[in-house]
Structure 1
Amino acid sequence: MSDLFHAAGLDKDAPRPLADRLRPQSLDEVVGQDHLIAEGAPIRRMLKAGRLSSIILWGPPGTGKTTIARLIARESKLEFEQISAVFSGVADLRKVFDRAEARRRAGMGTLLFVDEIHRFNRAQQDGFLPNVESGLITLVGATTENPSFELNPALLSRAQVLVLKRLDEAALETLLARAEKAEGRPLPLTPEARATLVAMADGDGRFALNLAEDVFLEPEGREPVGPEELARIVQRRAPLYDKGQEAHYNLISALHKSVRGSDVDAALYWLARMLAGGEDPLYIARRLVRMASEDIGMADPTALQICLAAKDAYDFLGSPEGELALAQAVVHLATAPKSNAVYRAFAAASRAAKESGSLAPPPHAMNAPTKLMKQLGYAEGYEYDHDAEGAFAGLDYFPPGMARHAYYKPTPYGFEKEIRKRLDYWTARRAGREKK
């Protein structure tokens, strides 16, 4: 089976990018995805059984989705067709299906690889269904986005989702070793610069090889390149982050849970990741305000003030100076005593409000600005708390006939320890009044 390079009519000795020259020629050469291609793993089992189902390959860029699809076709002896959802439309799909039908009449099968399949709209995705069900094509879709959100349920139900992992340091080092073998010389990098290059690749094997190719352009015999010079040789890319997609929600979730878990260092890391990825700092500030109320609450009443001040500081200073105020807020939240008592209390009170209907307040809780309202009993029985012993009269402000509920239950942490003492004192005073 010819590859895309040969299909383009180019000679095998023509210049080719390093990543293309090192493209695996068998599944055994694919790195970092043993959970899918090792003996006994899902793809191996399908190939061994000779029953290849349609699959969705979900994973970050540069992890081998296209290569795996091509090798599956080769080992299954299926004709490989490739389209990109970015550049293809309904007419292109029709041509693919027509060619697949012609092959089927000739006794051959077709594996259709659809890159970035999540970019097809719902109607286009539905167009695959009859051709998958009839066996006209074996569909292999590739996506960097969560299929649960981006693909039709009907299509998902007919395909097995296989998750590819970002390449770890060992896998990237394997690729660099292959690159050195292909070039016939080691990368001219110091150990520190080599580690920097691996970090810059961010789990993307193709990008790692592209970076290596840039480094190999340096003259042979020169002194090894250090980290600072490496940064000048290659352009550092921003971390993989799409504010409109799953990474956005994953990283803010990681920040929120790090704060809740009092892991201040992890919280700072996720904050930095979001800012480096281009997240709107004011979106982060809004989420920090939410964390202050949801996870700290009255255990540290200053947390909410700190977060609002951080938002104002960012508005005043802008980026990058204002980002330090957000970092200060994150440190405050992560190191503060934690309580979700306010969050739970308000949720319980909200449920009770929906269940209890439109009960009126007790008369002593209402004002009586008119003579008629006084005649109707408004404000009757009210006692001014500031005139009572300890500035507490002990009246019950729940609706008449509705039992009292303790929605707010302070924790023994932070300032809520003191609030608990006050509530216990007032509860005893109120109970003593009711007995009279």
Structure 2
Amino acid sequence: MRARTELTGRVIFQGEPGYEEARKNWDPHTDRYPKVFVFARRTQDVANGIRWARENDIPIRARSGRHALEGNLSQVNGGIVIDVSDMNSIRLDKKNGTVVVGTGNRVGRIANALARQGFIAPFGDSPTVGIGGITLGGGIGPLQRTIGLISDNLIELEMVDANGDIIIANERQHSDLLWASRGGGGGNFGIYTRYKFSVRRAPVRATVYRIAWPWEQFEEVLMAWQRWAPSVNTRLGSELTIGPKRGGNVMMEGLFLGSRCEAVRLLRPITSIGTPTERLIRSLPYRQAVNFLLPPDPVLTQRYSNQFSSGFGREPFPRQALKPMREFLEQVEGEDAGFFFLNWGGAVSRVAPEATAFYWRDASFYVEWNSSWTVPSEAARNIEVVRKTRRKLQPYIVGSYINVPDQGIKDSGPVYYGANYSRLRQIKAKYDPRNVFRNPQSIKPAKRD
């Protein structure tokens, strides 16, 4: 039966010009063949896309920055992809300390636009990640110990539900949806079109740093980092990456919202470890500091496919945890593969686990690891080595980060959302009782009595 609703926006059906370009994601292994892409230019385009999909009984996927890391999350064979990337307005209200952004904005665009006007916008480790998705999963990054997760700064949203109706959620109306949207993950409740964040003034200058060590010193550096990083001054964010044995090194970088002199002092317990091959500590105007931490990260020209997994460490890894890490790093290769650690605490941990949907508040650090490959025949081996490493690290981690999904995790709801999962299921049942917005690891609606 022909749908009653017409698709609006920039519409590209399979077989039409531009389809292959529309199908590309940051990670090549997430490719699927949807029936149609709708690049929404206004909220009504999103509503029309949802209604059209319901009338045609085809699956729906939302897409913002094209950074979904698993298959069937932002694309689906034979379905409709409603892409909000053309909805990228930014309206800063300096007087009230808020910014309203379209969910198609990429994180780097917002961070740089606000930095030019003297304000802080939180960001992660890539400028091209979409604000639409990163916010819903929590939104971690080097500023989180000072200003909280990206989602902690979310104060209002606009969302289109499964009926194609537009909902505004804030603390006064639909506050349960606002709660769920602060860490409950994308693709669960509806398609989001606009966010309002609280923002704060940026310092005139900030200190950035990058320290590198030979790969062979990763165990010594990690043991020191995980003792130091969670308790250092909360104005200091620290990311530690450990690359593969073949061609990789150990690198720590981040920023400190303070002077270079103080940063040098705070970093000394870790810069004194091993024999660093690079030691950069530099005071920059805040806008330049943002650029330093968000180097170019092309979306459509990424060569490596990846498999990720993640967790949170409540205690420092003991020595025995380093064995599976070493085994993993000896097996994987590629410029993007390895381990990534981010220090926790500060503003993140001052929020109670049940205050937002993001549950994992009391960790000492976040950890993720990934393999990478370019030849499709190597996918199975690389996926398995990541999941095998998760099994071996399980005694030392809790939970997992929904924005770094791993479809090898069974019964994933409590793993991603902890004790908040049951409440999320209730909210899912309220806003999407027929489970229209679903994917392989989406939240299942609670059963009605």
TM-score w.r.t. length of structure 2? 0.19
* Structure of greater Rg: 1
Greater helix proportion: 1
Q: TM-score, normalised by structure 1?
A: 0.19
Higher strand share: 2
Larger RCO (alpha carbons 8 Å, 6+ apart): 2
